[in-house]
Structure 1
Amino acid sequence: MTLTRRAEWLVLLLAAISLTGAALLGHYALTHHDHATTEVGVDMNGRPVQLDPGAELPPEQHRQQDAKPDGAGRFIVPSVGLDVPLGTMNEVAGSVVPPGFTAAYRITNLGTPTAPEEGTVYVAMHSLRRGAVGPGNYLFATETGTSNVAPGAIIDVSDTPYVVDRATTIPKSDLPNDTTIWSDIPGRLVVLTCLEKPDNTPAVDNFVITAHLAPPYNSAQQ
């Protein structure tokens, strides 16, 4: 299936709640539950985090994701102090559900997985709320919904540097059909997370950063 066809029904399912009873990001509406659900990981401060009830993929789709939380290098945004492992995963049946909360994930079956000059590289990650912190939280200011990553900033994806062009907010319902996001453009990076809200209610928008390939860059020098 082509990227354009797949994007027609692609939905980011980045849904989670913390063990403290706090709702985190999500495509699904999130509500407080008095009972605990299965722990699946921790946030960047070591706090236990769970997928929101209903967000867990069926076992076969989970297997087809072939998700790995690291092994593909690092995802680094020096200007905001973000430096996390870069994992890999597949989009499966129209869903992107990163399995962890402390890594960024390159979507290997969208755009180009290994040759950035030939197409778009897509990276997804969780952002969290109620005091929990995921990689996506570094990218925007929760109180204002504005980007922390300015145009011209560098994003390093597995030692491949990109220069940020813009950041935008897209309603979750509009994302699957947004051709500006899902067009496979050579040398482009698209970073996706959920835009958390200051009142800690469920996210209704996605936060998207787009960037283009830069000259050779050594992140350690920044």
Structure 2
Amino acid sequence: MTDRRSSIWWAVPVAVVIIALLCAGAWLLTDGLTEEESTAESRSDVELEDPPSKTEIDEMKVEALDGQFQVPSVGLSTGLETMSEINGAINPPGLNNGYVVRNHGTPDHPERGTTYVAIHSVQGAELPGNKLIDVGAGKPRVRSGETITLQDRDYTVTDSYVVPKTDISGDDRVWADEPGRLVILTCLQRSSGRSVDNVVIEATVDQ
């Protein structure tokens, strides 16, 4: 039908493409720093190359969520916010939290479908999203069987993989809406040059 299903499938690829671009679209404010000063601490001073405007942030209706986003195996522990996709784009306004996307999947009823969480990673930085990726190996650091905590629910990782940004919009593995499923999206950064791949981490809620 030109119905709801059609419109959803048109919206999803646009959102995915923009996620891919904006995860990579950040830069470190290290100009003028000595090598010693350019430490992990100074590298937390990062700006998005294409930050959302104040109007866009208002339309996202960003709200804090109770609970934490934790992946103990890689040392990730950060806060959570929720946001809406606007104008076909998922562009989290911050770099330090995970963002539950309220208008994809079924985040209000996680037991009924997929919950999507987007988090930025940045080349050369030490941010929460960077803990999910192994730049040198070119793959996710999170493996099957490991635990993710999202708010008051624990999930077990079932898969983690890399998808080229050019292919992710048509990858049925990513966009399947299945009960109790969690999908974490970030970018696989490289030692130099723009990110060309996404990291996808899938998990299922513990019973």
TM-score by length of 2: 0.83
Q: Which of residues 152, 155, 169 is equivalent to 2:145?
A: 152
The residue number in structure 2 matching 1:73 is 67
Matched residue type, 2:198: N
* AA in 2 matched with 1:19: L
- Cα pair 1:9 1:177 within 8 Å, conserved: no
1:85 maps to 2:79: yes
Query: What is the rounded CA distance, in whole Å, between the counterparts of 2:112 and 2:11 in structure 1?
Result: 19
CA-CA distance at 1:58 after TM superposition: 4.4
Distance 1:79 1:194 in 2: 19
Give the equivalent residue in structure 2 for 1:6.
Answer: 11
Residues 114 and 45 of structure 1: CA distance in aligned 2, closer, same or farther (over 3 Å): farther
Note if 1:18 corresponds to 2:23.
Answer: no
Equivalent residues of 2:139, 2:199 under 8 A apart: no
Counting matched residue pairs gives 188
After TM superposition, give the deviation of residue 120 of structure 1 in Å.
0.2
| Structure 2 letter corresponding to 1:18 | L
1:177 aligns with 2:173: no
Partner in structure 2 of residue 195 of structure 1: 188
Kindly indicate whether the alpha-carbon contact (under 8 Å) linking 1:112 and 1:119 is maintained by their aligned counterparts in 2: yes
Q: CA deviation at 1:127?
A: 0.8
CA distance in 2, matches of 1:186, 1:77: 21
| Alignment of 1:128 onto 2:122 | yes
Letter in 2 for 1:210: E
Shift of 1:61: 2.8
> Once superposed, what is the RMSD of the aligned Cα atoms?
1.8
Q: 1:205 aligns with which of 197, 201, 205?
A: 197
| 3-state DSSP of counterpart to 1:176 | helix
Kept in 2: contact 1:105–1:125 (CA 8 A): yes
CA distance in 2, matches of 1:85, 1:58: 22
Distance in 1 of aligned mates of 2:178 and 2:9: 12
Post-superposition offset of 1:191: 0.2
Q: Distance in 2 between matches of 1:76 and 1:60?
A: 30
1:38-79 deviations in whole A, cap 9, x for unaligned?
xxxxxx846311111xx23344333211123x3332100111
User: Paired residue for 1:143?
Assistant: 136
Query: Could you tell me whether the CA contact under 8 Å between 1:74 and 1:86 is conserved in 2?
Result: yes
- Structure 1 residues 89 and 210 mapped into 2: Cα distance closer, same or farther (>3 Å)? same
Aligned runs of 1:35-54 on 2, under 5 Å? 45=41, 47-52=44-49
Q: TM-score of the superposition, structure 1-length normalised?
A: 0.78
Whole-Å separation in 2 of the counterparts to 1:148 and 1:79: 9
Q: What's the secondary structure of 2:111's corresponding residue?
A: helix
1:103, CA displacement in angstroms?
0.8
Q: 1:59 to 1:157 in 2, by over 3 A?
A: same
Between structures 1 and 2, the one with greater helix share: 2
Preserved contact between residue 7 and residue 177 of structure 1 (Cα < 8 Å) = no
